[in-house]
Amino acid sequence: MASKTIIPTRMELTRLKGRLKTAVRGHKLLKDKRDELMRQFMESVKRNRALRKKVEEGLTEANKAFAAASAVMSPEMLRQALIYPKQSVELDMKLKNIMSVNVPIYEFKTKSSDEAEIYPYGFAQTSGELDDAISALSKVFKDMLDLAQAEKTTQLLAEEIEKTRRRVNALEYVMIPETQAYIKTISMKLEENDRSTKVRLMKVKDMVLADAHDFK
Amino acid sequence: MYKIAVFGERDSVLGFSALGLDVYPVDMGDDVREMFRSVVRKNEYAIIYVTESFHEELQNDIDRFKDSVTPAIILIPGAGGNLGIGSKAIDDAVERAIGANII
């Protein structure tokens, strides 16, 4: 354990004791942080799962509708119908702080609030199936945004938990036991020094007394 | 101000252009990785949706952005149906955080 050479002085002992105190405190705090992160993470995973299920169902639906549309329309017509979108979306991103992890909050703004604006084509030359597909997509879009938010949050939290867990473990299993071992070594060495000084003094005293009183 | 991109096979992503998202359709024979990197490099997208079918080819590029706030790269099922790769990403996150997959 005690691999590096330690200087057995009182100053070093005081320094190590201070360090141990900080380490124990830090360990407690980090452990609390890990627990809270874990709670948040579990919530986020649950949300993420639910949203993913919803989005996947919605998109499968939309894709089916789209497949129906491309069956009745020629690919060129389809491409032409969608080539110039009327609507445009801008995304505003804010950051929210969860236990010192910055996670994104998305807010989207559409250029026009008219719901009919999502159809960028005239209705005369396109099929009704395409309208269905587009409207199915627009319905699932809000959930897709929420999903992106939930998924990024989950990923960022996972990273932070991994980091915190490592720190907690490093403190618990390496730093704290090592410091304790050092402290023990130093205090034993100091006590040993004390004893040897005492013995030496007693010996010297005996010798001095013997000299003074001519005990021989 | 950020934008949203959708990246995937033509049939799966074309519809999103009507909603006002930026669409990057991939055709047969395109260099998927190069295309994807050029999309990411633009640095104007906060969210990039990628269809699950390209997951394997883009795995490394997707993983690189897992720990940064932007862009969020989200897998969505494409026209080929739901492959379940998106939900695997959640399991991976759980495993990463806890060390074992317990849920």
- Domain borders along chain B are 3-98
pLDDT at B2: 87
d(C-alpha A166, C-alpha B98), whole Å: 11
pLDDT at A72: 83
List phi, psi (to 5°) of A194. Answer: -55, -50
Ranking A6-10, A140-144, B12-16, B22-26 by mean pLDDT, the lowest is B12-16
Taking residues B14-40, report their average pLDDT.
Answer: 85
In the predicted structure, residue A3 carries a pLDDT above the cut 80: no
pLDDT at A191: 95
Residue with tokens 């609390």, as numbered in its chain:
A32
Shortest Cα distance from B60 to chain A (angstroms)?
A: 16
pLDDT at A178: 94
Fold of the B3-98 domain? Rossmann fold (3.40.50)
CATH of domain A27-169: 1.10.287.3240
- Length of chain B in terms of residues written: 103
d(C-alpha A172, C-alpha A179), whole Å: 11
pLDDT at A22: 96
Contact A144, A48 (CB under 8 A): no
For testing contact with chain B, the best of A40, A141, A155, A157 (most B CBs within 10 A) = A155
d(C-alpha A111, C-alpha A142), whole Å: 15
Name the burial class of residue A150, with classes exposed (0-12), middle (13-18) and buried (19+) by CB atoms within 10 angstroms of its CB.
buried
Per-residue CA distances from A56 to A112, A130, A194, B62, B78 (Å): 27, 20, 75, 19, 9
Q: Using 50, 70 and 90 to split pLDDT, how confident is the model at A33?
A: very high
Nearest CA in chain B to A92: B1
Contact A44, A151 (CB under 8 A): no
Q: Among partner residues B67, B86, B97, which is closest to A161 by beta-carbon distance?
A: B97
pLDDT at A37: 93
pLDDT at B52: 87
Shortest Cα distance from B53 to chain A (angstroms)?
A: 14
- Length of chain A in terms of residues written: 216
Task: Give the pLDDT confidence of A101-158 residue by residue, as tens digits.
Answer: 888 888 887 776 666 666 777 777 777 788 888 888 888 888 898 999 999 999 999 9
Ranking A50-59, A62-71, A108-117 by mean pLDDT, the lowest is A108-117
Q: Using 50, 70 and 90 to split pLDDT, how confident is the model at A189?
A: very high
d(C-alpha A122, C-alpha A61), whole Å: 24
d(C-alpha A95, C-alpha A77), whole Å: 42
- What residues in A contact B11, CB-CB < 8 Å? 63, 66-67, 70
pLDDT at A162: 92
Element (H, E) at A161: helix A128-170
Residue A75's CB: how many other CB atoms inside 10 A? 11
Question: How many CA atoms does the CB half-sphere of A134 hold within 13 Å?
Answer: 26
pLDDT at A29: 95
For testing contact with chain B, the best of A108, A152, A164 (most B CBs within 10 A) = A152
pLDDT at A116: 63
In the predicted structure, residue A216 carries a pLDDT above the cut 70: no
Contact B99, A165 (CB under 8 A): yes
Residues with Cβ within 8 Å of residue B80, at least 6 apart in sequence: B9, B12, B52, B53
Mean per-residue pLDDT of chain A: 87
Report the phi/psi class of residue A58: left, alpha or beta, with left for phi > 0 and alpha for psi in -120 to 50: alpha
Task: Give the pLDDT confidence of A152-169 residue by residue, as tens digits.
Answer: 999 999 999 999 999 999
B28 touches chain A (CB under 8 A): no
Ranking A24-33, A110-119, A147-156, B69-78 by mean pLDDT, the lowest is A110-119
